[in-house]
Amino acid sequence: MYRSSEIGKSRRWQIVAVTGVAVVLAGIGLGVASAAESTPTVNCPQVKVNVAIPAQAQNEVKSNLALLQTQIDEANKRIVDTKGQGGPNFIQNAILGPLKDKRFATISRIETAIGRNAPKPNLNAAGLSACTLNGAAAPAATTAAANQAPGSNLGILANNCDKSRLARHDGFQKGDRCVTTEFGEVGSAANNPSLLITQAPRVVNRNTAFTLKVSTRNLIRDRFLAAGQGGYYVESSVLQNGIVRGHFHTACRMLAGTNVAPAPDPVPAFFVATEDSKGGRTPDTVTIQVPGLPTAGTAQCASWAGDGSHRIPMMERANQTPAFDTVRIQVR
The yes-or-no verdict on residue 84 having pLDDT over 80 is: no
CATH number of 189-331: 3.50.50.60, 2.60.40.2550, 3.40.50.2300, 3.40.1390.10? 2.60.40.2550
Between 171 and 32, the more confident residue is: 171
Enumerate the H helices of the chain as residue ranges.
Answer: 58-81, 90, 97-115, 125-129
Q: How many residues does the chain have?
A: 332
Which pLDDT score, from 0 to 100, does residue 332 have? 97
pLDDT digits (tens, 9 = 90+) for 121-146: 999 988 899 999 986 544 444 444 44
CB 219 within 8 A of CB 246: yes
3-state secondary structure of 141: coil
pLDDT digits (tens, 9 = 90+) for 275-321: 999 999 999 999 999 999 999 999 999 999 999 989 999 999 999 99
Q: Edge to edge, what strands does the sheet with 13-18 contain?
A: 2-3, 13-18, 21-26, 47-53
> Which band of pLDDT confidence, cut at 50, 70 and 90, is reported for residue 156?
confident
Find all residues with CB under 8 Å of 260, minimum gap 6, and list them.
none
Give me the sign of the Cα torsion angle 153, 155, 159, 163.
positive
Give dist(CA 22, CA 124) in Å, integer. 20
Burial of 191 (0-12, 13-18, 19+ CB in 10 A): middle
End-to-end, the C-alpha distance of the chain in Å comes to 68
Q: Where are the domains of the chain?
A: 2-178, 189-331
Alpha-carbon 56 to chain mean position: 23
